[in-house]
Structure 1
Amino acid sequence: MTARRLPVRRIQGPQRGPNLRGRLRLMAVLLGLCGVALVAKAAEMQLLRSEFYQAKGDARFVREIAIPTSRGMITDRNGEPLAISTPVESIWASPRELLKHPARLADLAMALEQPLEELKARVEARAERDFVYLRRRMTPDQAEPVMALKIPGVYSTREYQRFYPLGDVAAHVLGYTNIDDQGQEGLELAFNDWLTGKPGAKRVIKDRLGRVVENIELVRAAEQGRTLELSLDRRLQHLVHRELQHALLENAATSGSAVVLDVATGEILAMVNLPSYNPNLLESVPAARRNRAVTDVFEPGSVIKAFTVAAALETGRVMPDTVIETSPGYMPLANHVVRDIRNFGTLTVTGLLTKSSNIAATKLALDMPNEHLHDVLHRFGFGELSGSGFPGEQAGVLTAPQGWGVVEKATISYGYGLSTTVLQLAQAYAALGNGGVWMPATFVHGGAGEGRAAIDPQLAQTMLGMLETVTGPQGSAQRAGVPGYRVAGKTGTSRRSIAGGYEKRYISVFAGLVPASKPRYAMALMINDPDPKQYYGGLVAAPVFGRVMADALRLLDVPPDNVEQLLAAAPAVPAAAADALTLEAESVAEALDAAAGPEMQAADGATR
């Protein structure tokens, strides 16, 4: 039997414990290295790259926001406000934030006075954006209840809205601004750069909800727009508007324009168009916002005869008392017939203006070269811009003299075949009152430019004396008279041009100067489409001049230059004298024989 071998158990020596000291040393080394690394990183962040990390932090909470600024004020020549900017609040939202609180949309819609569905659709359509206007240009009182709701993601920003104290009285001159306060029409557009301020900027800290919690620094101070002082006189603007409106109603006319100028400087003291619009509401159609006194041209009729006479006198071939035969009241001309409204018989050159004779004007024109008549008209500003710089201004039409035939020359002599604006017409008459010096027009007080000689000063003085007869007892513009003042002026009546010729509707015109002894103010006005029963310039337009200037001269404290008349207290022109006031023959139908055949249409503008 084999004996079983028992396992041998080895006896081991005493066991060693764990090396705690070594481990502690290792841990200390590791912690030391970590500490060194942290110190090194902190040193890098705080010392070496502090600006970089500061910028990274600021990018998350620091924002640069704009400081709104107001548009410059527009005033009249006396400092009275014509356009001012008032502070308003615009409510905007961050759709991302606002849509996290859909239950608040109903309260917001009610506060904004908007339909809930419309507001919700607008916000949801921009759900991925951070900005959307909810309502702009609210008054501070309107915006306060909205912000009091403290709806997350809804904010307010300060803006400015333009306000025009005169409303429709000066609308066509001033124009208006858009919702971003940028000029869109009129002088608001022409002087937009001058009026527009420069927004400032500041750095702020915002919280996660976008609210400003701290102002850090001012980056750039806001600069307000500069004040624009116009040449307009607010009082005269009101006065002209009132009288022009009265004339349109009295004569059932469709529209009208009037301009008053300072004779010596060319400054525009008043400019009115009717119908007008309210720039504070802008509910009118764009066509109603057109400044027709500078943008619309028309054939002026007999007011041009003053410059035909000036051109004739300048040649030296005639004098104011030179006799012109107009009998028998009509004049054959190249298969046409020029007519006066009646047989005036023998007239002087002065009588041409007094009676407004087409035949006499035609004879003077035919006795001078085409180039000379054209040159004189051009010197008085016809066919060129006025110099006002108004947006959309038209230069009118004055064709080259080389293309004038005898019929074209005849019609130009009494105001057809050329076109002008009301402003140009006022400028031309102002030149007669300014010693023959034509001044560029300006809307800026103190902004007078350099004038140019249109005619000799002595000739200009002679013309004033001749034009005074037009407003005298034998003239066609008695109703333009101003008690106590001498008035020089000229009436005009023309038929409205249409495609292919002229219609039997009229334009009534008057242009004049006061006081005639030393003119200070020139005024031209046009009334479009008055009642066909009474359409002559002496009956429709001249009375407006008389009423405006009677009040304006007193308002501006201009001393009378016709004291004798004032003391005599001459009665007003009676209604029975209406026949004497219609001594005009400006319309083509009254000037040329309608039975003259096809060429008549050519002279009439239809097949020229």
Structure 2
Amino acid sequence: MNHIDDKYLKRKELFEFNNVGRRIFVMTVFFAASLALIGRAVYWQYDPRLEPENENNARYLRTVEIPAYHGSITDRHGTLLAVSAPLYSAWIDPLGFDDKHIATIAEAADIKADELRVKIAAAEDKRFLYIKRHIKPQVAERLRALKIEGLYLDQVYKRFYPAGEITAHVVGLTDVDGRGIEGIEMNTDEHLRANAGSKQIMLDANKRTIRTIKLLKAPRNGETLALSIDQRIQYHAYRALRKAIAKHKAESGSVVVVNAQTGEIIVAVNYPSFNPNDRRYNFADRHRNRLVTDTFELGSTIKPIIMAVAIDGGYLQKDTVIDTAPGHYQISSGKQIKDIHNYGKLDITGIITKSSNVGISKIAQTVPRETLWTYLSGIGFGQTPGTVFPGEVVGELRYHTRWSPTDHAVISYGYGVSVSLLQLAMAYTTFANDGWRPNPSFIKDNPYFRKQQVFGAETARAVRKMLQSAMSKDGTGNLAKVKGFTAAGKTGTTRKLVDDKGDDNEYTAVFAGFAPVQQPNFVCVVVIDKPNGDDYYGGLVAAPVFSEVMSATLRFMNFNYDEPPVFDISNALPLVKHLHQ
């Protein structure tokens, strides 16, 4: 029995020993496999060959940029006004670059070899140098085909402006690195700007990507921005403005069209302009958007505003008649106020139609200074328009306590108050919009829309009728008529200030108006600076531009005629007679 027990115990011990051995073996294999996996992972993250002292490091492991594109800018209908096009940038590591390739690279990149040689020599202690930036795809292909070690190509994006100079002042431009430096590009840079990503890749000896090691930073594309501008009308306005400036040999000019109900800016053009796609011949003084950065004295375009203040404040009755004879009068300060003609007795509509300085100054002096200042301030004078456009100015409206009796009188026909073109346009929206003034916006659907009531609806409608009369055959704005549509508006002509005095040889011609009269949707203001020759009046220089621009606006916005169009067929009569012979 004891013998059997001994055998059993020996077998049990042997089994247990073998079982322990197996466990040790399995654990050893598992541990070795784990070490191999960990070692391989470490190997991919760290390789002695990639130490800084190894000059071949760059060909194995590299951090590369993942491009992202700048947000596009469109007009209100989706037409591209600014877009980022894919291009390439060529660069080298000067530290290990072989100079024997300079001539070959220069020829392929269309640059001078001597200039490239100097450039590389100046950066010999650096690890990065651009050979050429924003290369077209066909040039990039030529460089890539060279297969030169140490020459790299990165995809980048360059800003392109399809409308060129026509929308340049509104859209603005970016610098070489894609940062907005003018216009909407600058104002909305935070939303438009792209944030490039980066990743770590492994290359073989021929600089071919083996694999992506890891994503370091995800790219973020910029947002698309839709402007309130209508590119179709913008083009017609730019052409009409350029033609007028050439005809009258003027120094510059601007046009704006605003939706009177929403405050959206439909047209905003300046001439001269600049081409944002070719900056070799750009001049800094052409970059500013004169609509919001330049000011001028209002001239007679302020007269309807003064009339509205007097009516709305109860200082004037609609049947009031003012005696303007003998065409001039002297105020208490001794200042002589004159009209071009002796208009005799005029009702309040006649004062606007004939643009009488005598009549409007007499009306203005019935309104207390503080009241007049409050209305002018409320209409937006002396305030920023609120578009937050770079360079937006407040103009000049001195506080009423600083007004002299002369100031009180001459403000009524536009001297002593300076505004931007956009400020004047927004003031006229009160006549088109039953006394309400919306805030202006270059962005479609005016995301920050608000409005303020300046005049009562009845006052606005009364002045609207006066401004329609000013465009009759007896008014100063006759040349601003729009075929097939009723329109209303006022001319203005002011002498340019030189050393704080009016210059008899330099003028600013202005026209401000709206259409259609029964349901005014659009306000348009035209300013022509320093027209030369005898035709320098707003009614002769600026009014015809208003006619062209407003006509294009109403046609493209699909408005129906609200009065029978009258067409000039005098040139066609000889042909008709000939056909009937």
Query: Following superposition of structure 1 onto structure 2, how do residues 38-437 of structure 1 map, counting pairs within 5 Å?
Result: 55-57=45-47, 61-98=60-97, 101-207=98-204, 212-282=209-279, 283-333=281-331, 334-437=333-436
The answer to whether the 8 A contact 1:273-1:293 is kept is: yes
* Number of the residue aligned with 1:558: 559
Q: Give the deviation of 1:304 after TM superposition.
A: 0.5
Q: Give the deviation of 1:434 after TM superposition.
A: 1.0
Q: Give the deviation of 1:543 after TM superposition.
A: 0.8
Q: Give the deviation of 1:559 after TM superposition.
A: 1.6
Q: Distance in 2 between matches of 1:49 and 1:407?
A: 92
Q: What is the letter of the counterpart of residue 501 of structure 1?
A: K
The answer to whether the 8 A contact 1:492-1:536 is kept is: yes
Q: Distance in 2 between matches of 1:483 and 1:320?
A: 30
Q: Summarize deviations over 1:406-454 as a string: whole Å, max 9, x none.
A: 1011111111101011111111111211111111110111125110111
Q: Give the deviation of 1:47 after TM superposition.
A: 8.1
* Number of the residue aligned with 1:506: 507
Question: Cα RMSD over matched residues?
Answer: 2.2
Secondary structure at the counterpart of residue 186 of structure 2:
helix
* Number of the residue aligned with 2:472: 472
Secondary structure at the counterpart of residue 246 of structure 1:
helix
Q: What is the letter of the counterpart of residue 251 of structure 1?
A: H
Number of positions where the alignment pairs a residue of Structure 1 with one of Structure 2: 528
Secondary structure at the counterpart of residue 370 of structure 2:
helix
Q: Give the deviation of 1:502 after TM superposition.
A: 2.2
Q: Give the deviation of 1:145 after TM superposition.
A: 0.8
Q: Summarize deviations over 1:543-593 as a string: whole Å, max 9, x none.
A: 111122223212221122224xx3xx37699xxxxxxxxxxxxxxxxxxxx
* Number of the residue aligned with 1:534: 535
Q: Give the deviation of 1:305 after TM superposition.
A: 0.7
Q: Distance in 1 between matches of 2:359 and 2:282?
A: 46
Summarize the Cα distance change of 1:295–1:354 in structure 2 as closer, same or farther, 3 Å threshold: same
Q: Distance in 1 between matches of 2:556 and 2:272?
A: 26
The answer to whether the 8 A contact 1:304-1:414 is kept is: yes
Summarize the Cα distance change of 1:57–1:472 in structure 2 as closer, same or farther, 3 Å threshold: same
Q: Give the deviation of 1:53 after TM superposition.
A: 6.3
More divergent stretch after superposition (109-118 vs 75-84): 109-118
* Number of the residue aligned with 2:546: 545
Q: Distance in 2 between matches of 1:440 and 1:417?
A: 24
Q: What is the letter of the counterpart of residue 329 of structure 1?
A: G
Q: Give the deviation of 1:321 after TM superposition.
A: 2.6
Summarize the Cα distance change of 1:482–1:572 in structure 2 as closer, same or farther, 3 Å threshold: farther
Q: Distance in 2 between matches of 1:500 and 1:390?
A: 28
Q: What is the letter of the counterpart of residue 233 of structure 2?
A: L
Summarize the Cα distance change of 1:495–1:133 in structure 2 as closer, same or farther, 3 Å threshold: same
The answer to whether the 8 A contact 2:82-2:161 is kept is: yes
Q: Distance in 2 between matches of 1:428 and 1:572?
A: 38
Q: Give the deviation of 1:209 after TM superposition.
A: 7.3
Q: Distance in 1 between matches of 2:202 and 2:40?
A: 19
Q: Summarize deviations over 1:69-109 as a string: whole Å, max 9, x none.
A: 111111111111111110011111111121xx222211112
Secondary structure at the counterpart of residue 492 of structure 1:
strand
Structure 1: state its 5+ residue gaps: 1-38, 574-608
Which structure: larger Rg? Answer: 1
Q: Distance in 2 between matches of 1:395 and 1:376?
A: 16
The answer to whether the 8 A contact 1:67-1:201 is kept is: yes
* Number of the residue aligned with 1:452: 452
Q: What is the letter of the counterpart of residue 305 of structure 2?
A: F
The answer to whether the 8 A contact 1:505-1:532 is kept is: no
Q: Distance in 1 between matches of 2:353 and 2:107?
A: 71
The answer to whether the 8 A contact 2:488-2:515 is kept is: yes
Identity score, percent = 38
The answer to whether the 8 A contact 2:477-2:539 is kept is: yes
- Scaled by the length of structure 1, what TM-score is found? 0.83
Q: Summarize deviations over 1:250-285 as a string: whole Å, max 9, x none.
A: 111110001000111000001000001100002211
Secondary structure at the counterpart of residue 506 of structure 2:
strand
Secondary structure at the counterpart of residue 531 of structure 1:
coil
Q: Distance in 2 between matches of 1:49 and 1:216?
A: 16
Q: What is the letter of the counterpart of residue 184 of structure 1?
A: I
Secondary structure at the counterpart of residue 64 of structure 2:
strand
More divergent stretch after superposition (149-158 vs 314-323): 314-323
Secondary structure at the counterpart of residue 318 of structure 1:
coil
Q: Distance in 2 between matches of 1:381 and 1:142?
A: 53
Q: What is the letter of the counterpart of residue 516 of structure 1?
A: V
Q: Give the deviation of 1:533 after TM superposition.
A: 0.7
Q: Give the deviation of 1:137 after TM superposition.
A: 0.5
* Number of the residue aligned with 2:9: none
Q: Summarize deviations over 1:480-517 as a string: whole Å, max 9, x none.
A: 11122211111000011122412221000000010011
Q: Summarize deviations over 1:513-557 as a string: whole Å, max 9, x none.
A: 100111010000100111231111111111111122223212221
Secondary structure at the counterpart of residue 420 of structure 1:
strand
Secondary structure at the counterpart of residue 255 of structure 2:
strand
Q: What is the letter of the counterpart of residue 360 of structure 2?
A: A
Secondary structure at the counterpart of residue 467 of structure 2:
helix
More divergent stretch after superposition (223-232 vs 51-60): 51-60
The answer to whether the 8 A contact 1:506-1:532 is kept is: no
Q: Give the deviation of 1:160 after TM superposition.
A: 0.5
Secondary structure at the counterpart of residue 297 of structure 2:
coil
The answer to whether the 8 A contact 1:45-1:53 is kept is: no
Q: Distance in 1 between matches of 2:562 and 2:69?
A: 47
The answer to whether the 8 A contact 1:153-1:209 is kept is: no
Secondary structure at the counterpart of residue 397 of structure 2:
coil
More divergent stretch after superposition (404-413 vs 210-219): 210-219
Secondary structure at the counterpart of residue 295 of structure 2:
coil
Q: What is the letter of the counterpart of residue 554 of structure 2?
A: L
Secondary structure at the counterpart of residue 127 of structure 2:
coil
Q: Distance in 1 between matches of 2:33 and 2:425?
A: 80
More divergent stretch after superposition (211-220 vs 468-477): 211-220
Secondary structure at the counterpart of residue 327 of structure 1:
coil
Q: What is the letter of the counterpart of residue 411 of structure 1?
A: V
Are 2:433 and 1:443 aligned? no
The answer to whether the 8 A contact 2:237-2:548 is kept is: no
The answer to whether the 8 A contact 2:89-2:153 is kept is: yes
Q: Distance in 1 between matches of 2:191 and 2:567?
A: 51
Q: Distance in 1 between matches of 2:159 and 2:38?
A: 52
More divergent stretch after superposition (124-133 vs 506-515): 124-133
Q: What is the letter of the counterpart of residue 134 of structure 1?
A: I
* Number of the residue aligned with 1:517: 518
Q: Distance in 1 between matches of 2:109 and 2:567?
A: 65
